[in-house]
Structure formats: C-alpha cells, structure tokens
C-alpha cells in the first residue's frame, strides 16, 4: 500500500499523532515506539544543522533530510515544505521532489520567504490569492491522488483569528486536502477552528509553545485528525547530550550515566546493522 493511501486510512479511523523527526535515526525511534506516522519537522531539521528555523536551509538541504526520514522506516511521512521554497515555479519543483521522496503528505504555509518558526513573533504573510495559487499548483503537480496537500496559515499572529479562518476557508476552496491553522493561543480558538472549518484538520501540539496542550482524545472529539509534535524529541536529545558532555568533561567518560545511555547492542539494533551485514550472505 502506498504511504499516502495508508495515511488516509489511518486518518479515517481516528486522530493520528506524528512526532517530529529530523534524521533517519530519530525517524526509526518514532517507528520503534509504535507510532503510526512521523513528521519531518522543518524546524528540527534546521536546528540539527545548527541554524534557527528562519528559512536559512536550502531546498536541497531540507530534501536530503526528508529523503533519509522516508528511507529510514515504513511509516507515512508528513513533511514540512515551508513556503514551497519560493514562488509558483518553486512550489512545483518542491512538490515533485516531495512525491519522488515518497512522503504521504506535506504542508505549505502562507508566510513570506524567508519564513519564521510558527511560534516566533514578527512574521509576515503573502497575499491569500498567491497562497491559493500555490495550493492549486501543488495539487495539480501531484500524480498521486492520495497524497495530502496541507495548507498552513500563520495569520492568527499577523492579521487576527477571524482573518486566519477566512484565509483557511479560501485555501480549502483552492484545493487543500487538509487545513493547518498555526499557533492558536487559547482553548476557545482551538475549538473554534475545528467547528468553523470543514474537512481534515491538523494541529501543532508541543510543550512550551503558544498553543495550550490538549489531550489527543479531546482533540479528536473536537474534530482534529492529525497532531504533529515537531520538536520534543530534539529538545530531549539536547538535554541528554548536554548532560553526557558535562560528565565526560568532568570525569573523562560517561560511565556514571550508563543507565541513561543506549547500549552498544541497542544502538546497532536501531540502525539495523545485522540486516545490512546479512546482505552479503544472500
């Protein structure tokens, strides 16, 4: 079954949680943890390269990571396509690359380029008509009818809540398969988005952002279908690496943290070393 078809079937059964991965290893950990989908987080990919999420990575750099996330496991991948990396022609090229890579869904946002993380301030938007054109181009470019074009609007922080809803309605009319209203700031806004917008809806749920956390069953009851958790894995990894580095600097090794480290065997199982070595015996 195609990844896109599989994702649509999962969405038809109930809300899907997609933790954010930023490389092949984190994608494999998401799959091993029993999730049904993985999110290729543009912000986490940027930070993995040592840069903030403000549009500094090139299209090719992002696609290199997206391809590795897809290749790492068998889960449907929902990818962050930022603004489509430019204008109309860029969107077409981006969509073709996403489809070749094998992603099941991707979202394009209505920020002007270079974009900012959805939970940073001082964002700016393109005209809604230009965004509608990007959505139409994305849908027309895809040869896979099951692949999901997700339209994201960052308008709440720029134009206000009602304007964000109005933009979202236009994006649905333009052909978006799923809508993503970024960074609602209250539980009332989260409810209103689900009530006022038809069709499939995505919500960004992570600790410490502008959006209050809501349990998955409650989101499902409201009418949401997909929840992405973009940066939590990376944030956890940062603290784990900092603690290990502090121990190595102090004592010269990390043996005191042995219970918090993956064993040699566990690490090799995660990256499937035995499977690759056994190819020589076929």
Q: Per residue in 81-120, pLDDT tens? A: 999 999 999 999 999 999 999 999 999 999 987 676 656 6
Structural domain boundaries in the chain: 3-231, 238-281
Percent share of the chain, pLDDT over 70: 97
Query: Does domain 3-231 fall into CATH 3.90.1170.40?
Result: no
pLDDT for 118: 56
Q: Which of 36, 154, 177, 182 is catalytic?
A: 182
- Classify residue 23 as exposed, middle or buried by CB count within 10 Å of its CB (0-12, 13-18, 19+): middle
145 counts as catalytic:
no
- Among residues 221, 224, 186, 219, which one has the least CA distance to residue 202? 224
Mean pLDDT computed over every residue of the chain = 95
Q: Which of 53, 110, 154, 177 is catalytic?
A: 53
53 counts as catalytic:
yes
Q: Which of 36, 80, 110, 154 is catalytic?
A: 80
At residue 224, does pLDDT exceed 60?
Answer: yes
What confidence category does residue 180 fall into, taking pLDDT thresholds of 50, 70 and 90? very high
Chain segment 138-165, per-residue pLDDT in tens:
999 999 999 999 999 999 999 999 999 9
Q: Which of 28, 65, 116, 117 is catalytic?
A: 117
Q: Six-digit token pair at 24?
A: 């092949």
> The whole model's pTM is what?
0.95
pLDDT for 124: 85
């Amino acid at each position: 079954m195609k990844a896109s078809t599989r994702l649509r079937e999962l969405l038809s059964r109930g809300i899907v949680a997609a933790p954010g991965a930023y490389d092949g290893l984190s994608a494999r950990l998401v799959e091993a943890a029993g999730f049904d989908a993985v999110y290729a987080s543009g912000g986490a990919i940027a930070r993995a390269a040592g840069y903030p999420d403000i549009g500094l990575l090139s299209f090719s750099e992002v696609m290199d990571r997206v391809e590795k996330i897809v290749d790492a496991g068998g889960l449907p991948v929902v990818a962050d396509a930022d603004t489509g990396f430019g204008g109309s022609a860029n969107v077409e090229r981006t969509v073709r690359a996403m489809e070749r890579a094998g992603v099941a869904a991707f979202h394009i946002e209505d920020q002007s380029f270079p974009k900012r993380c959805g939970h940073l301030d001082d964002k700016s938007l393109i005209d809604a008509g230009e965004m509608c054109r990007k959505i139409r181009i994305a849908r027309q470019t895809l040869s896979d009818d099951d692949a999901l074009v997700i339209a994201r609007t960052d308008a709440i922080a720029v134009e206000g809540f009602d304007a964000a809803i109005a933009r979202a309605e236009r994006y649905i009319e333009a052909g978006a398969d799923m809508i993503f209203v970024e960074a609602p700031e209250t539980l009332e806004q989260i409810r209103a988005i689900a009530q006022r917008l038809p069709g499939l809806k995505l919500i960004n749920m992570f600790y410490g952002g502008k959006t209050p956390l809501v349990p998955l069953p409650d989101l499902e009851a409201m009418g949401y279908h997909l929840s992405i958790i973009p940066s939590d894995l990376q944030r956890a990894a940062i603290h784990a690496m900092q603690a290990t580095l502090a121990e190595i600097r102090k004592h010269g090794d990390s043996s005191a943290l042995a219970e918090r480290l993956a064993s040699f065997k566990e690490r090799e199982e995660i990256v499937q070393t035995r499977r690759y070595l056994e190819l020589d015996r076929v």
